[in-house]
Structure 1
Amino acid sequence: MNVPDIRWLQDLQRLLPIRSQYVVSGSIRDSFLLPLDAASGSATLVPFNRALWEFLKNQDYSLLLAYDPVDGLRVYPDEAAQRDLAARLFDVKLADGCQQMSLESLSKLMKKISAEREVRCALMLDFASRISRKPEQLSEAEHRFFVAAEKISLNASAIVPRQNGGPPLYNPILWLVNRAQDLPSWFTLDSERIATLHIGKPDFEMRQAAAQQLAPLFAGFADAQADVRTQFVKAFTEGTDGMSLSALADITELADRQKLAISDIDDAVRCYKVGVLDNPWRKEYLRDKIRDAENFIEDRVKGQRPAVIKTLDILKRSVMSLTGAQTRSVGSRPRGVLFFAGPTGVGKTELAKTLTKLVFGDEAAYSRFDMSEFAEEHTSARLLGAQLGFIDSEAGGELTNAVRQKPFSVVLFDEIEKAHPRILDKFLQILEDGRLTDGRGDTAYFSETILIFTSNLGIYVEDNHGQRHENVKPGDSYETVEFKVRAAIGNYFKFNLSRPELLNRIGDNIVVFDFISAEVAAKIFDGMLRNVARRLQEELKLQLAMPATVRDDLLARCIRDLSNGGRGIGNQLESNFINPLSRALFEQELTGKQRLTVTAITEADKVISLNLQLA
């Protein structure tokens, strides 16, 4: 098995002749793939301590001491030969495998190790981020400790040990920290002998090697054909992009406990990411629901058949797992991405809710973010989570929290053009990688979500003088509306924002909604009126009746201005009917009444009233 080289160990080997101390950050809690059995060529996933010790042994180091603020000092590995050597060279006295030490005693030990000439040895300071509570506000003892450590780094020299000889190398001191800034800034800046090593997430080659190592633990792998094995390793590697090798090991254990075979690798990875084994996207009933969905959607979203058909096409593509099939690697991109554009009040938000009900069976699986609330750059902290150290950093971000809580959901970003451009940059990562890490360092995975952006771009445009005027208007053909709106959206992302890459990620998923016609407006009106009648029956036990002439009068009042779409019809119905109806009923004795008939609508001094008959 060909095991890729580990970058941070390569850097350590290169720097040992010239650097005495190392601040190591990043994925220090990950596992690392080492070829421990040279004869068989097999590799093993080991923690940082083991990886470091195996490397040091190969460089003729005889001793590794490890310290952390909780357990104190210990010998790694905990073997008799190493314990005896530590006791003889440094008077280490272990009780139950460890020895408590003050910072003053620890600095003296660091000085001894740096100057030791009999054998090569090293000291690892684990959980070094916790040595001081506030790195820029040190106590007197902490300040003295770090000054001593800085002085030791400058006074140390590369050593040729008397016992084994070899090239001159430092006896290194390694500080394991969560972030480099967890230590005083001056400590690393003012010493040329202190190197900074950052351990990144494993790349494709390393994950592939780990997947090959873990593959035999999946049920059915040993008996599978060679091409099936190859495909499994490829799917495992690509599906874990951005994850640690420890995560790959955890996925393997999860698959073993859930009795998942190699054909279920996608489910195993998804279960690890989102914490849910059941996958609604793979339910057979979902295909049946989508197959018959056109009437279901058009019952709630009227007059938008081209938009509905295109939306269903994109949804069917998501169900068949063909989203991004033209690319080499789909990765963990969202299941579906839709960009709803068009006039206000024509059903964009309603279609998003309808899709939620259709796919997930519950509108509660719907999260809406009004992007006008994120027009300032600083509001990104609210959406994505404040960075550690800032106020409310422990709360996480509203978006990342919502997706972690509801991994199978529709996420709606309303009026996306109103968000600050810097916030829009975050959507690039979501659309490309399907994940987002908040200020706490927690990752939310969007691989099982449908993302919907809504926008009114293209309805109005600005001329050369900055004046807004209509770009499209009621009465224009749908082809004209679609062409002009799409062009305006393209111009906005390319020229106004200078972010054509965001538009490229959205691709051809732009769904343009048409204006509400008078015929469609009448259907919307009738639906709203039925809702009013149902509410009267449920709340007041009254059956609503209305002669055709009164209904036509009310319809004319509600649809005379369609510039605000269905939302405008609802507002007019409230003003012309619901408000005067409520006023009239408030003054009536309704006990025993079963039927309410509206006989006329009148208006005097701009006050609308209803003539009612109760029986």
Structure 2
Amino acid sequence: MADDTARNGPFLPGFPAFAVEVAGTLAVHSQYVLHGNIRDHFLVSPEGASPEIPPLLPLLWKALHPCGFEAFITYDAVDGIGVHPPKDPAALKAVECVLGPRAVGRRPGQKRLLAHLAKAVGVPEQPPEDSEAARSEQSASPAAPSGFARPANRVAFVIDYAARLTRVPGQLDQGERDFFLFCQKLAYSAQSFSVPGPRRSELHNPVIWLVEGERDLPAWFTAGVEPIRTVAVGVPTLDDRLRMARLLVPAFPPASTEDTHGRVDPAMEFANRTDGLSLESMMRIARLARDRGYGVDRIADATRVYKLGVDDNPWRRTSVRTQIIKGQQEISGQVMGQDRAVAKTLDILKRAALGMSGAQASTPGSRPRGVLFFAGPTGVGKTELAKQVAKILFGDPHAYLRFDMSEFSAEHAADRLIGAPPGYVGFEAGGELTGAIRRKPFQVVLFDEIEKAAPLVLDKFLQILEDGRLTDGQGETTYFSECVLIFTSNLGIIVTDPQTKIRTQIVRPPIDYKDLEKKVKGAIRDHFTNVLGRPELLNRFGDNIVVFDFISEVTATRIFSTQLDNIVARTYSELGVRLEITAEAAGQLCAACTAELDNGGRGIGNMLEANLVNTLSRVLFDKDAQPGDRVTVTGLRTGDHGPVLDAQVVRGGAA
């Protein structure tokens, strides 16, 4: 049985798959590039033994030591040559047998490092140091080895922070290119061998490169080079996180309440809430919970603080609940004629405030607190309702982040949201969206006219809606789990000709709300499913699509009156002039401003500006109105150059 294990490679129950892959392929590969989650800890739970959580290097040692490895030679640009296991006399002796008695602790130059690599893997035989061949070798460029020596020691050479060996992987200088070319030829030249001992397998002494990204080394170095095996070190799976959580949860302080009725398994909750995080992060969250005194009933708080760095959670404030209750009365006065849309929006906000978004799912996940898709005619209150949502949640109608998707219609526009990739212009600036959310995690984000966004931008939205996070161009993860995302669209109301880009309104009032809702939702479904080919994005919006109605004549009159009052108030606050409008003049203005309702409340405002604000400004300017004056508007008529206001200015407000 032992002989079978020696011949076929070690069987490593309870080890991560990448460690098993390395240990099991040493007979055919002389070099490995390990990339990805290499700075993490890893759960090792062999049968019949207590679980351990070593970092990468000790984990690789546990996997390769049974194969007869006596030591690891380690190297990085800061610490130079090292040995693993540290402070192990047998390991130090093995390394000194390979590299000499004074190599450990030194930071060799490039040529010397190449010689160390060659000696470690067994090629080539080195000439005596004082020979003419040695002197000529030191002055020459690295070349392919020509002779082979069978090492007496089983060692691996581990190069950490390998990406820092070059300035730019795709733009190597002469020395960097020669270095990697030598290492590539070394991979082809190295031979497997056996050493005396119980396991006489023909294995390589491997060179193991550790990098964060798969492309951190020159692409040609590994592409199509069979002796060099690229191995991904993945983030922990749900099973990994669950096993880790079961080890960590007992270390949490006790729950603040003994009532555990209906609560999920704390370990399962911990595992679900740390999706995408490393095991190292889970250990840090557990330490943070102990430091803050968070019991097992506050795993969600500990995870949120670790991710966002924010202890205060606005969603738990009593003021949010109070504001939502007040909003039911106040919003209708700000967003007129949209009672159905307001009611549905408030329902979604109540769900978000209670943390019940996605409650039907088996796992809590990290999706945004709330998602709203406002659809319908232009100028009917979609943006205004978004402002009111910000006011309800954070006390300020301007406390929201707005992106006009017409500015993100090009394919490269996604870089504006998350930042340019390394090496591209603007990389250092970061992303507009990711940077803003990291600075202010609790926020309302408005994406206006979503149908105009480029497909690559929509892919980013898919990640946010599904996972609640986004990785920017600098590799930083931004979490959207505490945000409310609002998307707006005119789909179903306006169509754009693909050739001329002319926008045409295809639905006009009067139309029954149920028919309008059916048309709009049908157009949205067709756009995401057939036009964009992204039904999965539509599925993430779910039932959060809120359809706005056309404004009625009654609503239009209310909007007109509100905006007229705003003009009167602004005239007094800015100029100190009292503005009075007779009933007849107000009727004429109302008729002119509400004649066409296709553009909604915004259209009414535009007409008021043309018929009253502009003409009033002309009167005030030409007659040099002063603070304390009174202006009485008695009528509106059409002149040769547009609307003309019949108005009288009384100095000092006297009769």
Q: What are the Cα deviations for residues 190-243 of structure 1, in whole angstroms up to 9, with x where unaligned? A: 532111011111100111111112212210179989999971101100001111
Q: What are the Cα deviations for residues 62-100 of structure 1, in whole angstroms up to 9, with x where unaligned? A: 111110122211112321502233223321426xx7111
Distance 2:619 2:497 in 1: 49
- What residue number does 1:17 align with? 27
Distance 1:192 1:14 in 2: 16
Distance 1:226 1:319 in 2: 22
Q: CA deviation at 1:527?
A: 1.4
Does residue 1:322 correspond to 2:332, yes or no? no
Which of residues 92, 96, 110 in structure 2 aligns to 1:83?
92
- What residue number does 1:8 align with? 18
Does residue 1:42 correspond to 2:50, yes or no? yes
1:445-484 pair list within 5 angstroms:
445-460=479-494, 471-484=506-519
Does residue 1:601 correspond to 2:603, yes or no? no
Aligned residues: 610
Counterpart contact for 2:20–2:63, Cα < 8 Å: no
Distance 2:627 2:576 in 1: 9
Distance 2:157 2:379 in 1: 67
Q: CA deviation at 1:45?
A: 2.7
- What residue number does 1:183 align with? 217
For 1:337, the aligned partner's letter is: V
Which of residues 398, 419, 431 in structure 1 aligns to 2:453?
419
Counterpart contact for 2:269–2:363, Cα < 8 Å: no
- What residue number does 1:546 align with? 581
User: If the length of structure 1 is used for normalisation, what is the TM-score?
Assistant: 0.94
Distance 1:272 1:556 in 2: 58
For 1:613, the aligned partner's letter is: V
For 1:479, the aligned partner's letter is: K
Counterpart contact for 2:255–2:297, Cα < 8 Å: no
For 1:112, the aligned partner's letter is: K
Which of residues 277, 280, 285 in structure 2 aligns to 1:243?
277
For 1:529, the aligned partner's letter is: L
Distance 1:555 1:341 in 2: 27
Distance of aligned partners of 1:594 and 1:250 in 2 relative to their CA distance in 1, 3 Å threshold: farther
Distance 2:418 2:454 in 1: 13
- What residue number does 1:143 align with? 177
- What residue number does 1:27 align with? 37
- What residue number does 1:71 align with? 79
Name the SS of the counterpart of 2:60 in structure 1.
helix
Does residue 1:302 correspond to 2:355, yes or no? no
Distance of aligned partners of 1:465 and 1:145 in 2 relative to their CA distance in 1, 3 Å threshold: closer
Q: 149-158 or 584-593: which moved more?
A: 584-593
Q: What are the Cα deviations for residues 449-487 of structure 1, in whole angstroms up to 9, with x where unaligned? A: 111111111114589999986543211121221121111
Distance 2:567 2:192 in 1: 86
- What residue number does 1:560 align with? 595
1:269-284 pair list within 5 angstroms:
269-284=303-318
Give unpaired runs (5+ residues) of structure 1: none
Distance 1:435 1:137 in 2: 32
- What residue number does 1:55 align with? 63
- What residue number does 2:648 align with? 612
Does residue 1:584 correspond to 2:591, yes or no? no
Distance of aligned partners of 1:114 and 1:269 in 2 relative to their CA distance in 1, 3 Å threshold: same
Distance 2:380 2:193 in 1: 77
Q: CA deviation at 1:612?
A: 2.7
Counterpart contact for 1:128–1:177, Cα < 8 Å: yes
- What residue number does 1:105 align with? 112
Distance 2:643 2:611 in 1: 6
Q: CA deviation at 1:574?
A: 0.8
Distance 1:147 1:509 in 2: 56
Q: 481-490 or 130-139: which moved more?
A: 130-139
Q: CA deviation at 1:180?
A: 2.8
Distance of aligned partners of 1:3 and 1:507 in 2 relative to their CA distance in 1, 3 Å threshold: farther
Distance of aligned partners of 1:456 and 1:5 in 2 relative to their CA distance in 1, 3 Å threshold: same
Distance of aligned partners of 1:243 and 1:542 in 2 relative to their CA distance in 1, 3 Å threshold: same
Q: CA deviation at 1:151?
A: 2.0
Distance 1:55 1:32 in 2: 12
Distance 1:487 1:223 in 2: 48
Q: What are the Cα deviations for residues 409-447 of structure 1, in whole angstroms up to 9, with x where unaligned? A: 111111111111232122222111111112211111111
- What residue number does 2:267 align with? 233
For 2:384, the aligned partner's letter is: E
Q: CA deviation at 1:391?
A: 1.6
Distance of aligned partners of 1:404 and 1:222 in 2 relative to their CA distance in 1, 3 Å threshold: closer
- What residue number does 1:486 align with? 521
Name the SS of the counterpart of 2:530 in structure 1.
helix
Give unpaired runs (5+ residues) of structure 2: 1-11, 123-149
Distance 1:227 1:135 in 2: 56
Counterpart contact for 1:3–1:206, Cα < 8 Å: no
For 2:453, the aligned partner's letter is: A
User: If the length of structure 2 is used for normalisation, what is the TM-score?
Assistant: 0.88
For 1:541, the aligned partner's letter is: G
Distance 2:34 2:257 in 1: 42
Q: 177-186 or 97-106: which moved more?
A: 177-186
- Which structure would you say has the larger Rg? 2
For 1:113, the aligned partner's letter is: A
Distance 1:127 1:389 in 2: 19
Which of residues 416, 419, 428 in structure 2 aligns to 1:385?
419
Q: 144-153 or 437-446: which moved more?
A: 144-153
Q: 284-293 or 206-215: which moved more?
A: 284-293
Counterpart contact for 2:578–2:628, Cα < 8 Å: no
Distance 2:634 2:263 in 1: 76
Q: What are the Cα deviations for residues 37-60 of structure 1, in whole angstroms up to 9, with x where unaligned? A: x76x43333222222222222333
Distance of aligned partners of 1:223 and 1:597 in 2 relative to their CA distance in 1, 3 Å threshold: closer
- What residue number does 2:125 align with? none
Distance 1:402 1:568 in 2: 32
Q: 512-521 or 161-170: which moved more?
A: 161-170
Distance 1:223 1:552 in 2: 64
Q: CA deviation at 1:137?
A: 3.2
Counterpart contact for 2:629–2:649, Cα < 8 Å: no
Does residue 1:114 correspond to 2:148, yes or no? no
Distance of aligned partners of 1:220 and 1:525 in 2 relative to their CA distance in 1, 3 Å threshold: same
Distance 1:221 1:14 in 2: 45
Q: CA deviation at 1:329?
A: 2.0
Does residue 1:358 correspond to 2:392, yes or no? yes
Counterpart contact for 2:14–2:45, Cα < 8 Å: no
Q: 7-16 or 392-401: which moved more?
A: 392-401
